[in-house]
Structure 1
């Protein structure tokens, strides 16, 4: 139907999610530049064999309902969601004499088990408990220590005492697929920020195809999504997949 007023659309807003079927809070995914839905269909046509060509009947059935989201906030939760990962939170209590192997060659990096808090004291000793000196034997980095030339670090290893900084480790491909309920809290920028909403009732995130860790542009996580039918929806006039709320 022809509309008497302009109803053009430019969508922006925030994506929220929680585990499907839970009463968890809907939490934001952060800065997202894109969210889209796609539909695949299976079409079966019955040809008109009585003359004149064309079709006697046709049936088009939706098959795959998929989506995609673009995320710029690189949080442990976002990375885990699209790499099928588990999250392990690092301790923040001091660690004494963490043992590491070493070769004792110049420029060798010896990363700590956890990212160190450089505002706290870090001490490094040889395997025989001889103190090593920062700036002479090693260079302290945000990841661990790097062996300097003419260092007293050798092939016997080192003992390191430090305090881990607050961090989390994403163990990629170490978890099962999880189902989510998603909510897009949107604003139509073409209509002076008029609100709209998209409710995804049940969805699974697929694996991202590429994770460009080194690069010159802002890292964007592109997460494929599969929309699944929600069997808890029994009303005929309510979609089992998604619903879009638009202001009048």
Structure 2
């Protein structure tokens, strides 16, 4: 394995985030702060508790998941799309770097940036709400899994996209709505039928509840099911990327 090559890709992608600090870090933090102000203060004043947890603390995992999904996807998709757009992808393909090293470099960097951002979001949340993490080690592991899963998804999106608008259309029309409808700001026990059943068909719902269990010890579904959904998604994305590198789809076009 060419670890030096993987590290070179990783370092370049991480440094790109620090060259665009406002868009990569400050903007998501400001957006999350607005969510805390609007939902935590305005709506939280009308909802005392959900499942024995204050409303402000209840929405922390959901807002963190919203940031993780969007940032992991956008970082990874943009990271692999730009070499394709500029033609530098051919230098990468001709270099002595394999499938595994490329994933470690691009996906690892996107996941690392998301983890840095998640840490900043959690620190920012302490300014608005009083929350605790019931299972800190599980929370760390689960956040890393989600960041890796959607960095892989973003990598696939960056290979599939043939224009900048396609890099935005999937997160805008799919991920963000599914996250909002996945119990970010509410428990599905608050929904009437048939909307409760519809919510159970949303895959993001299981991810949000898995992270909520790590924070509060309570969720609408078991942590085992949430973990299985996350690991299954990682396996599917990895298989798709392996197929792409084996066939050269979109990479050599």
Could you tell me the TM-score, scaled by structure 1's length? 0.22
Higher relative contact order (CA 8 A, sep 6+): 2
Q: Which has the higher strand share?
A: 1
Choose between structure 1 and 2: higher helix proportion.
2
